[in-house]
C-alpha cells in the first residue's frame, strides 16, 4: 500500500501558486508555444530522408496504363529524391 504524505495548508498553497505562476509565465513570455502540427496530406505522400531531402513517388502510374510501354511504367515505379526549394518547403511541413 503506498504511503501518503499529508501536506500542510501552507505547502499546498505554495505548490499551487508555483504551478499557476509557471503557467502564467509561459503564457506571457511564450516559453512553451504550441507545436507545429504535421501536414497529414504531405505525410501520406512524402518521406524525409536522413539527409533532410524529400522522397516521393512519380506521377503518371495510377490509371490509363494500357497504352504506356512496359519500360515507361517500370521507370515510373522508382522513387525520386529531391532537394529543390519546393521540396524543402514540404520537408518543413513534415518535421
CATH of 40-94 among 4.10.410.60, 2.40.70.10, 1.10.3720.10, 1.10.260.40: 4.10.410.60
Q: Where residue 77 falls among pLDDT bands split at 50, 70, 90?
A: very high
Report residue 18 as a C-alpha cell.
508555483
DSSP assignments along 32-74, one per residue: TPPPPPP-HHHHHHEEE-TTS-EEEEPSS-SS--TTS-HHHHH
Ramachandran sector of residue 64 (left: φ over 0; alpha: ψ -120 to 50; beta: rest): left
Higher pLDDT, 69 or 6: 69
83 pLDDT above the threshold of 60:
yes
Confidence of residue 63 (pLDDT cuts 50, 70, 90): very high
pLDDT in tens, 32-47: 667 788 889 989 999 9
pLDDT at 34: 72
pTM: 0.57
Spatial contact of 80 and 56, defined as CB atoms under 8 Å apart: yes
Amino acid at each position: 500500500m503506498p504511503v501518503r504524505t499529508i501536506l500542510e495548508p501552507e505547502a499546498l498553497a505554495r505548490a499551487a501558486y508555483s504551478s499557476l505562476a509557471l503557467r502564467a509565465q509561459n503564457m506571457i513570455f511564450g516559453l512553451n508555444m504550441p507545436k507545429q502540427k504535421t501536414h497529414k496530406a504531405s505525410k501520406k505522400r512524402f518521406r524525409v530522408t536522413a539527409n533532410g531531402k524529400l522522397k516521393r513517388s512519380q506521377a503518371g502510374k495510377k490509371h490509363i496504363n494500357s497504352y504506356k510501354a512496359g519500360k515507361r511504367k517500370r521507370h515510373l515505379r522508382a522513387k525520386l529524391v529531391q532537394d529543390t526549394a519546393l521540396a524543402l518547403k514540404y520537408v518543413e511541413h513534415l518535421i
